[in-house]
Amino acid sequence: MFEPGKGLLVVHLDEETKAKLKELAIHPKVHCHHITLAYRPSQEVYDRYARWLDKSVHFTIVEIVTDELGQAVVVKGIETENPIAHITISCAEGTPPVYSNTLLCDVYNSESQSIRKALNIKGGGRVGYVPF
């Protein structure tokens, strides 16, 4: 049950998409399970996404970004509350998956030591709400 300011709105990746992404992982902590649409959404934000709940969606993975701490792919075709729609692929030991936000913002906003590579992978999943 939705409670404003708690939980996550996500796209749970389908098994085929997870498998494709896991092949790209280079760090020991592999994630590849969702796209965060909204973290701790307000009622207004939840209502914007509510029509998509339990529905299948499709998107394109357009770029992979990697550094010594983490790895994420950039996603197009999905609206999110994050500045850059993405999926966390893998992280180094001791690095939380939320690091992917920092990794991508650093790449797009400044000089970075990250490695970037263009991709064109079709993906899919189902929109859901994860309470916490």
d(CA 89, CA 108): 18
Model pLDDT, residue 107: 81
pLDDT number for residue 115? 86
43: tokens are: 């009622």
Distance in Å from the first CA to the final CA of the chain: 10
CB neighbours of residue 30 within 10 Å:
17
Is the distance from CB of 26 to CB of 71 less than 8 angstroms? yes
Give the pLDDT of residue 111: 64
pLDDT in tens, 50-106: 999 999 999 999 999 999 999 999 999 999 999 999 999 999 999 999 999 999 988
Number of other residues whose CB lies within 10 A of the CB of residue 130:
12
User: Which of 9-18, 23-32, 107-116 shows the lowest mean pLDDT across its residues?
Assistant: 107-116
Summarize pLDDT for 29-44 with one digit per residue, the tens.
999 999 999 999 999 9
Domains and CATH numbers, the chain: 8-128 (3.90.1740.10)
pTM of the model: 0.94
- Segment 12-32 shows an average pLDDT of 98
110 has a pLDDT exceeding 90: no
The predicted pLDDT at position 125 comes to 98
Q: What pLDDT is stored for residue 1 in this prediction?
A: 86
